[in-house]
Amino acid sequence: MTQSAIGNRQSAISETPLQRALRRFLRDRVAVTALGVLVLLFLVGGTFLVLKWANVSWPHSPNEPQLTQKLQPPSAQHLLGTDNLGRDVLSRVLHGTYISLAVGFLAVGVSIVIGIAVGAVSGYFGGWVDNTLMRVVDAIMCFPTFFLILTVIALLGPSIWNVIIVIGLVSWTGVARLVRAEFLSLREMEYVRAARALGQRDVRIIFRHVLPNALAPVYVTAVLGVAGAIMTEAGLSYLGFGVQPPQASWGNIIADGKTYILDAWWLLLFPGIAIFITTLAFYLTGEGLRQAFEQKEGK
């Protein structure tokens, strides 16, 4: 074995599992390209969120009606055309970016926290605790998620915060099952037994020794979950139960344009493309992470 090969092998051995997964991920051109698209979307969303806080309307006001310019096709003045109230579609799509990303990340954050807590307790303690929590998970998973969200939103009232909270509260079951499976395996490892023998408390063992080694599938689920949350928010907004007008959202832009589908195709096409590109980028990034964590060393 050459000196270079020995050095590479020693370097690989000294890497943590997360570092090895990151190295494999960076070799996946499709996943890295998708991640680059997501970074661009974050920059766009952050920029237009700052512009909103600063009360700056660019390239046009996303909410101010201009009835004399309604249903104008794409042109030099309005690159993506205008809607039925004369509002610039490009401005509304760009401002809708931070709404979709905020809903996706905050909703997934809620679901990840609940899922990790339930899965960790269930997998670590086992027995009747595990049986009870898993029956609760099974009961929640029996309900069609979208219709459950729709029902709760109808009862609570439509708003962006209700959408975030409800999506998070009904989408944690998958994370809980993944974390539970990891804990069932890891709790029998020698370092966990050694920690128990030293008298360390269960909470410290869970968060210090077991949980960091159980998070690999959670990273993948979180990325894929953001795409699902964005799709759910778009569907709710389309039905009138999500983000409320005049606030721009990709879903309600499409909802406003469905009446004019034969006369103003741009009202459905451009926000639809935004949803497609965003969700595809999240799915490809998540798939790249999954392969990076599952790939065996040497491949």
- Residue 94 is predicted with a pLDDT of 92
Rounded mean pLDDT, 280-288 = 93
Q: How confident is residue 152, by pLDDT bands cut at 50, 70 and 90?
A: confident
- Residue 118 is predicted with a pLDDT of 92
Q: Which long-range contacts (CB under 8 A, 24 or more apart) does 57-66 make?
A: 57/91, 58/91, 59/88, 59/90, 59/91, 60/87, 60/88, 60/90, 60/91, 61/87, 61/88, 61/91, 62/87, 62/88, 62/91, 62/92, 62/94, 62/95, 62/248, 63/87, 63/246, 63/247, 63/248
Of 104, 117, 72, 160, residue with least CA distance to 286: 104
What's the pTM value of the predicted model, to 2 decimals? 0.86
23: pLDDT strictly greater than 70: yes
Rounded mean pLDDT, 246-253 = 88
- Residue 122, CA atoms < 13 Å, CB-side half-sphere: 23
Tell me which of 144 and 74 has the higher pLDDT.
74
- Residue 296 is predicted with a pLDDT of 58
33: pLDDT strictly greater than 90: yes
Residues 223 and 239: their CA atoms lie apart, in Å, by 25
Contact 221, 174 (CB under 8 A): yes
Domains and CATH numbers, the chain: 17-54+86-294 (1.10.3720.10)
3-class SS of residue 82? strand
98: pLDDT strictly greater than 60: yes
Rounded mean pLDDT, 44-68 = 87
180: pLDDT strictly greater than 60: yes
- Residue 14 is predicted with a pLDDT of 61
- Residue 38 is predicted with a pLDDT of 94
- Residue 207 is predicted with a pLDDT of 84
65: pLDDT strictly greater than 60: yes
3-class SS of residue 31? helix
Which amino acid appears at position 222 of this protein?
A: A
- Residue 55 is predicted with a pLDDT of 85
